[in-house]
Amino acid sequence: MTQTGAAMAATPEKQPPHLSGLNTAQLQAVEALDGPVLVLAGAGTGKTRVLTSRLVHLLATARAMPSQILAVTFTNKAANEMKHRVEHLLARPVEGWWLGTFHSIGARILRRHAELAGLRQNFTILDADDQVRLLKQILAAEDIDDKKWPARVMMAVIQRWKDRGLAPEQVTTGEDSEAANGRALAIYRQYQERLRTLNAADFGDLLLLNLALFKSNPEVLEDYQRRFKYLLVDEYQDTNVSQYLWLRLLAQAHKNICCVGDDDQSIYGWRGAEVGNILRFEQDFPGAKIVRLERNYRSTPRILAAASALIAHNRERLGKTLWTEPQGGEQGEKIGLRACWDGGDEARFVGEEIEAMQRKKQPLSGMAVLVRAGFQTREFEERLMTLGVPYRVVGGPRFYERQEIRDALAYMRAVVQPDDDLAFERIVNLPRRSIGDTTLAAAHSLARAKKLPLMAACRELVASDELKPQAKRALSALLADLDRWKAQAETAPHPELAEIVLEESGYTGMWKASKAADAPGRLDNLKELIPAMAEFETMNGFLEHVSLVMELATDAGSDVVSIMTLHAAKGLEFDTVFLPGWEEDLFPHKRALDEGGAKGLEEERRLAYVGLTRAKRRVVVSYVQHRRIHASWIACLPSRFIGELPADEVQLDGAPGLFVPEGDDHAPQDEATAFRLRGGRGGLLIEGSAREIDSERAANFQAGARVFHQKFGYGTVAAVDGDKLDIEFDKAGRKKVIDSFVQSATA
């Protein structure tokens, strides 16, 4: 029987409602109740329906009472949705079952056996802020520099140990960390002792203490093993070591464990997820039944073909191929591949495409821009605002609302507008300069009394003996810096001034020294801020623009374009998906490759797969030839993932003068580099051939001549100084270049 025929096979007429409409593979997953089962549920294959139907089937057939079922999810939202669907299908409420997140179930067990776990039954579960506050106290007592080893960094180290199921006594020399001057393990011990003293647990403890409880009290473990006749686990590919060990222990008696997941969508390795958990399922549970859900109900055949070809390059996977029934015999649109000059050109292209679809009455809510890194959102946000297209940033603040951007802007405001009290107050002790609340209170008091701006009041204070010597020195140094930067603002270009201010103030150094997980992303955002400034003639013009942007950043309702990272997009779907920034070092991300090697590359490829499979009808991938990073133009290479897409499923759309298919009659004849597509087993190949520049002819340029530069593109010679040319480039602005690097052009 063919794939299609199998999926369409008729099931018995008198089926219960929860089984009706299931395809063959889905029905197998629901009815395979005995023994270990792994359901490999590809993107858009009806995973949620299978989970729900399986739970209903267990209850409807009286194979188990609600109290004998343990169903575990990763979010409360997923748990509540599953509960409501089951009750709807059964047409009655379900009481007494164990349905919830790993943490909620772990807490429920701990409440029952608190004394055995070293706690009292009324123990407190600390939130993230309380955890950090407690750790700060311990670090201070140990005389560990909070600037060098922030509490949040230490908390991340401790949580990684807990995610791996390691209590302090289980952390070996090989597992130890160099954090906190080599005292990380000692800090971990003290932290756990303080938690016990406070009769408290953190989120990591909810499973870690469960593991310790089961190990120390076999009778308790045996009770839960007997109790849970059936186990059901959602998103198994995202489990960490602690979750994995916990599940394995509970499943040992009946072995009726059903795990649903997709190894091709394991993208959270950076937060402790172990893709190996799902890859080892057959080894962990001998005789396990593997059911592959491969029929996709979301995307077109072309999108699925491209996604399947891409993910097939991963070695560490169980393997499956998504397919779907063509709608009306149509395969759908090819994957659009757009080559752009730079990030601004890329944003303009995406904006124009969105506008064109909007004119065709396509809802904005069906469109999404999915980026690899948070800093990429800035150009798309500004372009959509310019066009008047409503949007929302999902999973994070808008670019100019981010903490590090607000801090940087406060520095700029303090330089150009000394009367801006709010800006000055924000940066006066950032990074920390020993200017505390007492000093600020004195400054505020003087400012109110004399009706002075805060900065002016500070100048009077440092000229007096009102302040302690340390605070006086720090405040005086900051005011001197602000004066120097204001003087530099008279001559230095404002993007250059911004770099100077952020560097000399120590602000970028603060984030460079930070061990926080989000520090690299914050630095990327700061780098993105510099080219954003360059688009305006003055710093004041830029700051005014930002104020207007913030004023316009209002909720436009539900019909908006979604902008988000690829990580945030998992589980969502859209009619049209734009995937910008497919360039080497950005996607796959250089940091992921440096830190993870081959595993990092495979996770990046899974991320690309997730991006492609979010789309129902249309995908547009784009990349740039140049990207401006930290005021420097970087030549970019197309991502290797582009080369892994099947050529037959891709339609190249090059901007004028860029990468055009061979044989295009409209391709410019004087282009320095001509690209062509070639189909083959290896997928899409982009080839290039450089043209030699005639150096003798290059030496004869005159002002007003049109030229072409390999990096900066087309431009007009503004001035000639020997072999050096001042050129006003169409896209890159004014540059000084050597004449041998350009050639005559007609454009």
β-strand 230-233 against 69-73: which pairing, if any? Answer: parallel
Tallying the residues shown for the chain, one arrives at 747
Catalytic residues: 47-48, 234-235, 265, 614
The more confident residue out of 300 and 679 is 300
Taking only the tens place, the pLDDT of each residue in 486-513 is 888 888 888 888 888 888 888 888 888 8
Taking only the tens place, the pLDDT of each residue in 349-365 is 999 999 999 999 999 99
220: left (phi over 0), alpha (psi -120 to 50) or beta: alpha
Q: Please tell me whether residue 707 adopts helix, strand or coil conformation.
A: strand
CB-based contact 390:560 (threshold 8 Å)? yes
> What is the pLDDT at residue 557?
53
Taking only the tens place, the pLDDT of each residue in 81-134 is 888 899 888 888 888 889 999 988 999 999 899 999 999 888 888 887 788 889
> What is the pLDDT at residue 348?
94
- Average pLDDT of the segment spanning 603-614: 96
CA distance 392 to 357: 18
Q: Which of 255-269, 291-305, 656-670 has the lowest mean pLDDT?
A: 656-670
Q: Cβ neighbours of residue 129 under 8 Å, at least 6 residues apart? A: none
CB-based contact 142:151 (threshold 8 Å)? no
> What is the pLDDT at residue 150?
85
- Angle between the N-to-C axes of helices 539-552 and 403-416, in degrees from 0 to 180, rounded to the nearest 10: 140
Average pLDDT, the chain: 84
Highest mean pLDDT pick, 244-248, 460-464, 682-686, 724-728 = 244-248
pLDDT at 669 over 50: no
What are the CA-CA distances from residue 484 to residues 413, 416, 426, 475 (Å)? Answer: 14, 12, 19, 14
Q: Looking at this protein, which amino acid is placed at residue 723? A: D
Identify the bridge partners of residue 620 per DSSP, sorted by sequence position. Answer: 336, 578
CB-based contact 536:546 (threshold 8 Å)? no
pLDDT at 675 over 50: no
As a whole-number percent, the residues of the chain with pLDDT over 90 amount to: 43
As a whole-number percent, the residues of the chain with pLDDT over 70 amount to: 88
> What is the pLDDT at residue 595?
87
Q: Cβ neighbours of residue 279 under 8 Å, at least 6 residues apart? A: 263, 316, 317, 318
pLDDT at 57 over 80: yes
- Average pLDDT of the segment spanning 374-382: 87
pLDDT-based confidence at 177, cuts 50/70/90?
confident
- Average pLDDT of the segment spanning 130-157: 87
CB-based contact 685:705 (threshold 8 Å)? no
> What is the pLDDT at residue 522?
86
pLDDT-based confidence at 721, cuts 50/70/90?
confident
pLDDT at 11 over 70: no
Taking only the tens place, the pLDDT of each residue in 399-434 is 777 888 889 988 888 888 887 777 888 888 888 887
The candidate with the shortest Cα–Cα distance to 587, out of 603, 599, 572, is: 603
CA-based radius of gyration for the chain: 30
> What is the pLDDT at residue 556?
44
> What is the pLDDT at residue 495?
83
pLDDT at 687 over 60: no
- Average pLDDT of the segment spanning 215-241: 96
Burial 377-402 (b: 16+ CB within 10 A, else e): bbbbbbbbbeeebbbbbeeeebbbeb
Specify the pTM: 0.72
pLDDT at 660 over 50: no
> What is the pLDDT at residue 498?
87
